[in-house]
């Protein structure tokens, strides 16, 4: 009997052991399977990350490759617009310019999406005068709004601090997109841009709303509105155009700063987009250039002194473009095809006793790039005050600007460059022209005041001529005044006014008869008033 019990106990123990062993084997097999799965998942994740990085690198490279020739198209178009064109030619070139700008926006949007997806977006924290920023954004869209008979108004509540900490460029990008959409999708009424503060349990929040009285968005549209490439209503999207990227980018940009965008809309009534950002008050942003490096001259254009400038640029179209722009500014410029040539040219120019005053340096060049060339020049002892180096590049993100200054550059101009932007930047480093032979005081302030006086005088003259009897008006005199204005407007940041003045001058000359002159003025007046 005890043996039977013993056998049973042994058998039970053996069975228990067998079960435990089987469980252990299963657990081991499961652990091994889990391990395999983990390895598989890790490999898949790595592949996905590599694919993501490859995609954003590809997009960044593509974007650079597309932007470079596009800069040429936009830049040369700008030069062409400033030349003597007849009306039809002017209209055609203007269409090329508009198409070029639209394409540039698209390329930049795609690059933004890639950067955000790859988590490569870096934001700056900058003290910013919000009132001024909103005013500037509204002003940029005013011409289009006015053409549609819409008013754009801004209101900032007193509770909003004078200075807030935000990434200025990105805030501008979001607000411009929201106002741009509001203008685009509104046919009657107006657009209000408002900023106020809301106190929440998490602290104060800055609210910026863009409210329109436009076509509104359907309920289904609202569900996908922040999804990339989504445009809500298909037929409407075809009617209004666009890519469906703006809001997706805006909401992701705002998301990176722990903010969000909300939308309320009703078809046929209007839309209210509200941007919510954690409110951080800044010290003072009175002067956005307060931290800029010491300058030799003023931040302005008018007349540039005779100067010797080196352009380091590998792309042939851009070489010709920047050369043409410097020539139009009366600057003596030389080309270098890459960083190595640039360093050599700078050294040789110094040895020859005719050193360069400024280098305009492309960042991305074959062989020695702009950053490396700058480092080499600084190592060779060319200091920032001997030789300011200005990056002239399509790479305009905060990290690019930082890389340029870390390499020893003093400033940065984003492509596509315009003659005005180039002149203004060169004036910063070269200083204003010396006094002329006649001893005329040519300070920027005086010139600017005189320019503004001339502009006011012409505006006044034209306003009166709109209503006066045509044969009592000195049309030839007006054409002469317009000719003078057209010649200088671009130097004071009024390039568009220059173009319109030139066109009006031509129209008046072609019209001949007083009646026809007044008719031409009536036709061109809205464009002139808008540009002024
Ligand atoms: P895009 O304007 O290039 O199509 P967005 O991402 O900026 O891209 O906008 C996506 C869509 O959202 C638009 O196509 C439009 O249907 C809708 N939308 C955006 N803003 C407004 C607005 N203020 N009023 C009406 N619809 C709007």
With 0-12 CB in 10 A as exposed, 13-18 as middle and 19+ as buried, what is 50?
A: exposed
Which residue, by CA, sits nearest to atom 14 of ligand 1?
Answer: 231
Ligand 1 binding pocket mutation candidate from 174, 177, 180, 185 (most atoms within 8 A of CB): 185
Q: DSSP string spanning 383-418?
A: -TTTS-EEEEES--SHHHHHHHHHHT--EEEESSP-
How much is the pLDDT for 487?
67
* Residue 470 DSSP symbol: G
How much is the pLDDT for 321?
85
Q: Give the side-chain half-sphere CA count within 13 A for 481.
A: 16
Phi, psi (degrees; rounded to nearest 5) at 265: -155, 150
Which atom, in ligand 1's list, is nearest to the CA of 245? 6
Ligand 1 binding pocket mutation candidate from 180, 231, 234 (most atoms within 8 A of CB): 231
Sheet holding 270-278, edge to edge: 151-156, 190-200, 203-212, 270-278, 260-266
Which atom, in ligand 1's list, is nearest to the CA of 248? 6
Contact status, residue 305 vs residue 430, Cβ threshold 8 Å: yes
Which atom, in ligand 1's list, is nearest to the CA of 212? 23
Which residue, by CA, sits nearest to atom 15 of ligand 1?
Answer: 231
Query: What is the distance in A from the centroid of ligand 1 to the CA of 399?
Result: 30
Query: What is the distance in A from the centroid of ligand 1 to the CA of 108?
Result: 18
Contact status, residue 213 vs residue 190, Cβ threshold 8 Å: yes
| pTM of the entire predicted model | 0.55
Query: What is the distance in A from the centroid of ligand 1 to the CA of 121?
Result: 23
Which residue, by CA, sits nearest to atom 3 of ligand 1?
Answer: 242
Contact status, residue 381 vs residue 412, Cβ threshold 8 Å: no
Q: For tokens 């003259």, what's the residue? A: 461
Q: For tokens 């050599």, what's the residue? A: 344
Q: Which two tokens stand for residue 156?
A: 């900032």
pLDDT tens per residue across span 466-481: 888 888 888 888 888 8
182 lines ligand 1 (CB under 6 A): yes
Ligand 1 binding pocket mutation candidate from 105, 180, 225 (most atoms within 8 A of CB): 225
Which residue, by CA, sits nearest to atom 2 of ligand 1?
Answer: 242
Q: DSSP string spanning 79-124?
A: HHHTS---HHHHHHHHHHHHHHHHHHHHHHHHHHHHHHHTT-----
Scored b (16 or more CB within 10 A) or e, 63-82 reads: bbebbbebbbbbbbbbebbb
Contact status, residue 359 vs residue 326, Cβ threshold 8 Å: no
Could you give the CA distance from residue 422 to residue 333 in angstroms, rounded to a whole number? 13
Contact status, residue 273 vs residue 210, Cβ threshold 8 Å: yes
Contact status, residue 87 vs residue 505, Cβ threshold 8 Å: no
237 lines ligand 1 (CB under 6 A): yes
| Residue in 342, 417, 347 with CA at minimum distance from that of residue 374 | 342
Residues of the chain with pLDDT under 70: 1-2, 120, 229-243, 284-304, 395-398, 431-450, 487-488, 490-493
Could you give the CA distance from residue 508 to residue 474 in angstroms, rounded to a whole number? 11
214 lines ligand 1 (CB under 6 A): yes
How much is the pLDDT for 115?
74
Q: Which two tokens stand for residue 511?
A: 């019209």
Query: What is the distance in A from the centroid of ligand 1 to the CA of 219?
Result: 13
Contact status, residue 501 vs residue 485, Cβ threshold 8 Å: yes
Which atom, in ligand 1's list, is nearest to the CA of 243? 3
Which residue, by CA, sits nearest to atom 9 of ligand 1?
Answer: 244
How much is the pLDDT for 182?
95
Query: What is the distance in A from the centroid of ligand 1 to the CA of 181?
Result: 6
Query: How far is CA 242 from each of CA 82, 106, 146, 509, rounded to the nearest angstrom?
Result: 29, 9, 21, 40
Could you give the CA distance from residue 334 to residue 345 in angstroms, rounded to a whole number? 9
Query: What is the distance in A from the centroid of ligand 1 to the CA of 98?
Result: 20
Q: Which two tokens stand for residue 245?
A: 């990227």
3-state class (DSSP) for residue 357 = coil
Could you give the CA distance from residue 437 to residue 204 in angstroms, rounded to a whole number? 60
Q: Which two tokens stand for residue 447?
A: 């010139």
Alpha carbon distance, N-terminus to C-terminus of the chain: 117
How much is the pLDDT for 440?
33
Residue 261, beta-bridge partner list: 275
- At residue 530's C-alpha, the angle toward residues 525 and 532, to 5°, is 95
Phi, psi (degrees; rounded to nearest 5) at 152: -115, 120
Ligand 1 binding pocket mutation candidate from 174, 222, 232, 235 (most atoms within 8 A of CB): 232
215 lines ligand 1 (CB under 6 A): yes
């Amino acid at each position: 009997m005890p043996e039977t019990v013993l056998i049973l106990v042994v058998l039970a123990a053996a069975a228990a052991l067998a079960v435990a062993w089987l469980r252990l084997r299963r657990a081991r097999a499961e652990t091994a399977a889990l391990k395999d799965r983990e390895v598989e998942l890790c490999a898949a994740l790595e592949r996905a990350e590599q694919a993501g990085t490859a995609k954003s690198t590809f997009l960044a490279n593509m974007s650079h490759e597309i932007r470079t020739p596009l800069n040429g198209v936009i830049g040369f178009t700008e030069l062409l617009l400033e030349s003597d064109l007849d009306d039809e030619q002017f209209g055609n070139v203007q269409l090329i310019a508009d198409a070029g700008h639209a394409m540039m926006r698209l390329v930049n949007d795609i690059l933004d999406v890639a950067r955000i997806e790859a988590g490569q977006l870096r934001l700056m924290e900058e003290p910013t005068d919000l009132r001024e920023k909103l005013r500037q954004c509204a002003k940029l869209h005013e011409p289009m709004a006015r053409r549609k008979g819409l008013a754009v108004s801004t209101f900032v509540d007193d509770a909003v601090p004078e200075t807030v900490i935000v990434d200025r460029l990105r805030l501008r990008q979001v607000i411009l997109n929201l106002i741009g959409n509001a203008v685009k999708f509104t046919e009657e009424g107006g657009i209000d841009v408002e900023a106020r503060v809301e106190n929440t349990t998490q602290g104060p929040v800055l609210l910026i709303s863009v409210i329109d009285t436009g076509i509104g968005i359907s309920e289904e549209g609202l569900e996908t509105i922040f999804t990339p490439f989504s445009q809500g209503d298909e037929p409407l999207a075809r009617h209004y155009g666009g890519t469906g990227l703006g809001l997706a980018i805006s909401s992701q940009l705002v998301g990176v700063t722990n903010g969000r965008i909300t939308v309320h809309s009703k078809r046929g009534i209007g839309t209210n987009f509200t941007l919510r950002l954690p409110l951080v008050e800044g010290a003072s942003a009175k002067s956005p250039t307060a931290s800029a490096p010491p300058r030799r001259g003023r931040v302005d254009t008018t007349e540039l002194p005779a100067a010797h400038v080196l352009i380091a640029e590998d792309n042939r179209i851009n070489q010709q473009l920047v050369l043409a722009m410097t020539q139009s500014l009366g600057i003596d410029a030389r080309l270098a095809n890459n960083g190595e040539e640039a360093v050599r040219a700078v050294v040789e120019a110094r040895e020859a006793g005719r050193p360069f005053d400024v280098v305009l340096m492309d960042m991305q060049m074959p062989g020695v790039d702009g950053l490396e060339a700058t480092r080499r020049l600084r190592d060779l002892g060319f200091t920032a005050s001997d030789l300011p180096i200005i990056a002239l590049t399509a790479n305009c993100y905060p990290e690019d600007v930082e890389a340029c200054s870390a390499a020893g550059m003093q400033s940065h101009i984003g492509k596509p460059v315009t003659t005005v932007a180039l002149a203004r930047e060169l004036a910063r480093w070269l200083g204003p022209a010396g006094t002329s032979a006649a001893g005329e005081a040519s300070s920027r302030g005086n010139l600017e005041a005189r320019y503004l006086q001339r502009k006011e005088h012409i505006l006044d003259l034209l306003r009166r001529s709109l209503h006066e009897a045509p044969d009592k008006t000195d049309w030839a005199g007006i054409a002469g005044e317009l000719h003078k204005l057209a010649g200088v407007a671009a130097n004071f940041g009024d390039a568009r006014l220059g173009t319109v003045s030139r066109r009006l001058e031509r129209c008046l000359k072609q019209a001949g008869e007083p009646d026809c002159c007044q008719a031409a003025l009536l036709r061109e007046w809205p464009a002139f008033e808008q540009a002024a």
